[in-house]
Structure 1
Amino acid sequence: MGDEEEDDDEEPGKTNKGEEKVGKDKEKSEPSKENKDSEEFKYSDDRLGVGSLVISGSKGKGTDEGNPSKRELGESSASLPKILPVTGEPIHHTIPLLATRIARHEDRLNDVVNVINGLPCGHITEDVNNLIIGQMAVESKVEQIKTEFSESMEFIAALCTANVTMGDVLTSFDHELEQISAQNFSLRRAIQESYAREWTRDRTIETLTTKITELQRRMDEVSGKP
């Protein structure tokens, strides 16, 4: 009986030792934060003509080189987010790699600045000033053309008004001509009637003259005159 109680007392201890061993094995099997997957970065910036930042992970052995200290970051790592919300990568790996990538592109940026500084700004400024002067001259010419066009439109409007007035005058002339034509026709008819009456009168006078002559002859015969 006593031996069984001692065995029972020893079993819990063995169990604790086994759990500690399993826990240690589990810790060994889990990778540490320092040995997580390494990242390959492709940095680019659209404004600099380099593209956009692409982060892709590949399994491998990582290092802690380039990790900023708390003093370099200016604040404790506890106050920083552990993972970037966009890429999902650990921030203590991403920040130094970004800094390294930016440093690599510093020479390229300097070359771009040198190219920009090497541009002939004086000639460009002169050309721009000439373009501005040319634009002002064109605008002045356009304003002059607008003024002439407005005057032309006013003149055309006056011509249209005069044309309408002339049309009214011509219509009145046509009406007067119609009346004159009618009066002319009436006058011609009256003249023809007058000619007819004159001819009739002449015929009547001739007839009366003949009759008077005949009557005088007869009277002379009756009176015995030769």
Structure 2
Amino acid sequence: MTIRVVLADDQPLVRTGLRVLITDAPDIEVAGEAGTGREAVTLTRETRPDVVLMDIRMPDLDGIEATRIITAGADTASARVLVLTTFDDDDHVYGALRAGASGFLVKDMAIDDILTAIRVVAAGDALIAPSVTRRLIADFAVRPDPAPAARSLNGVVTEREREVLTLVGRGLSNGEIAAELSISAATAKAHVARLFTKLGARDRVHLVIMAYEAGLVAPPN
């Protein structure tokens, strides 16, 4: 199965580089290119891609709002948005995740890492570049005390599910969660699946956000 990708970036040189990169991958193809956020929304409706590589800072409509429209639209919600960011854009990470982005790429990432990210997101998982994750955690560190949100999980998740959500918030994979809790990988996966259902999470990134907002994971000092 070929993964179809829309490239949304206001810099033609960036789009050209990404197109050349993707063209060399046998399982990924470019479905179209957009130079503004509004063009990205329109192109997503027209081409129904699997993934949209979305820059944040674009004219007409920024990447965050374009992401919100795409992930909320009945005719576009099947597309997964993978945001392209630079260090200067990282302050917008939280807003884009809340808008429905499934992952983040830093523009200077290695070629193989970018292709891997596209495949991971297309498969329904989520991915955030480590440098962006650090900034995301730092963002939570300056937010108000999230303790009241923690109480909202009472009666919603079990104690074991709370433990699993905490580990998801720390960035652990299902296999790592299994090892940490001395349970099987299948059991860990089942707990994560139940968290998706109970909390209405879109993907693993959304669970990470919920873990921080619930006060289950404390940002580092």
Shorter-chain TM-score bucket reads: under 0.3
Higher fraction of helix: 1
With normalisation by structure 2, the TM-score equals: 0.16
With normalisation by structure 1, the TM-score equals: 0.16
Which has more radius of gyration?
Answer: 1
Higher fraction of strand: 2
